[in-house]
Amino acid sequence: MKRFHIALAVTSLEASIDDYSARLGQPPTAVVPGRYAMWRTELLNFSINEMPDKGGQLRHVGFEDDSVDGYSSSKDVNGLEWELFSAEEQDRRIVSTYGEAVRTDKG
């Protein structure tokens, strides 16, 4: 499975979880209270970080691709960061960066 990834900074994690859950039609896949939330849909891997001073800013984009081992990052010609990672690698990085996530999905 290959999903487009987009990561945003948000002012309020809780308000953003409510808003984006309604927009995406599902609750987040994982939440680290007060810090981070992530949704995996059929086509999209969408994550948000509570960063009140940067709310609404794009953090980075990329692809979640289960055929990839590990993680890589590069910048495009405009200086935008692009990440490439597997779902398993992202799950490991969530825990190492933000702490243990509360799983909200059934899978």
Continuous H helices in 1-107: 13-24, 87-98
Q: Where are the domains of the chain?
A: 2-103
Question: What pLDDT does 103 receive?
Answer: 63
Question: What pLDDT does 104 receive?
Answer: 66
Q: What is the pLDDT of residues 2-21, one digit of tens each?
A: 999 999 999 999 999 999 99
Percent of the chain with pLDDT over 90: 77
Report pTM: 0.85
Confidence check: pLDDT of 97 > 90? no
Structure tokens at 74: 């590069």
Q: Does domain 2-103 have CATH number 3.10.180.10?
A: yes
Q: Distance (Å, rounded) from C-alpha 10 to C-alpha 49?
A: 6
**Average pLDDT score over the chain:** 92
Q: What is the pLDDT of residues 37-56, one digit of tens each?
A: 999 999 999 999 999 999 99
